[in-house]
Chains A and B, each alone.
Chain A
Amino acid sequence: MKIWSSEHVLEHPWEMVTTAAMQKYPNPMNPRVVGVDVLDRHVDPSRKLHSHRLLSTEWGLPSIVKSTNISFTNMVSVDERLTYKQHPQDPEKTVLTQEAIITVKAVSLSSYLEGLMASSISSNANKGREAMEWVIHKLNTKIEDLAVSARGSIRTPMAAAAALVEKK
């Protein structure tokens, strides 16, 4: 079992970041994500929103794996958790904490394979952050366009929401 974690500050308020996280796909950094579905969604009594989503991805297993019928899904498990929290010192920023637990259920090579997967997760984490910046930029452009077309009389309501929202 291998644990990988990293912390990163996004220079955007939490409301923008979570809105972007909900609309993360499609983006040019993650071309392998080909589908996103919501399997369940509800607000619990403590007003926390739960979303259970299914991401459909195309990883393109090499043909040698397909022909020898090895089932990697039973051997490798990666459990990844991303947490976005308002920055404790600056409400205009968000802290992203990423953790991954990697387990390879093979007798030999497991620590080597786990190490490989950790490197892969680490470089993918950079892509993921780029993807978030891309989505945020797109959303901000949309907001600016709306403001211009409304002749600038309406400011984005997101900043005003900051005081009202319970932070996770």
Chain B
Amino acid sequence: MNSVGEACTDMKREYDQCFNRWFAEKFLKGDGSGDPCTDLFKRYQQCVQKAIKEKEIPIEGLEFMGHGKEKPENSS
């Protein structure tokens, strides 16, 4: 699967692999502590945020569709 930012796809896949492993082997077994993917996520995020700005994707605009309840935090 690709990223919205072409340059971010490899970073995204590396992060996804790390997260999927942590999710199945740690989180689903009740161990939500410790995140081995933080560094990978940071690098990937920097790239994605840049791509979103460059493509002028209105992330804030998503709020018009939401009810405001239980919406996860938006880190943009």
Q: A residues near B, CB below 8 A? A: 15, 18-19, 22-23, 25-26, 34-43, 47, 49-52, 54, 56, 77-79, 157-158, 160-161, 164-166
Contact = CB atoms under 8 A, between A and B. Distances in A.
B68 to A, nearest CB: 11
Q: Is the interface of A mostly helix, strand, loop or mixed?
A: strand
B73 to A, nearest CB: 6
B12, B35, B64, B72: most-surrounded residue (chain A CB, <10 A): B72
Given A23-B20, A77-B65, A158-B24, A35 B1 contact: yes
Interface of B: 1-5, 8, 12, 15-16, 19-20, 23-25, 27-30, 32, 35, 41, 44, 48, 52, 57, 59, 64-67, 72-76
A39 B65 contact: no
B74 A56 contact: no
Contacts of A41: 19, 41
A157 B25 contact: yes
B48 A35 contact: no
B20 A22 contact: yes
Given A35-B4, A38-B15, A52-B74, A19 B23 contact: yes
Contacts of A39: 48, 59, 74-76
Nearest to B49: A39
A56 B4 contact: yes
A79 B69 CA distance: 12
Contact of A26 (B1, B24, B41, B52): B1
Nearest to A156: B24
Nearest to B29: A161
23 contacts: A15-B24, A15-B28, A19-B20, A19-B24, A36-B3, A37-B3, A37-B4, A37-B8, A38-B19, A40-B72, A40-B73, A40-B74, A43-B27, A43-B32, A43-B35, A54-B4, A54-B57, A77-B65, A78-B65, A79-B65, A79-B66, A79-B67, A160-B29
B28 A19 contact: yes
A54 B41 contact: no
A52 B1 CA distance: 17
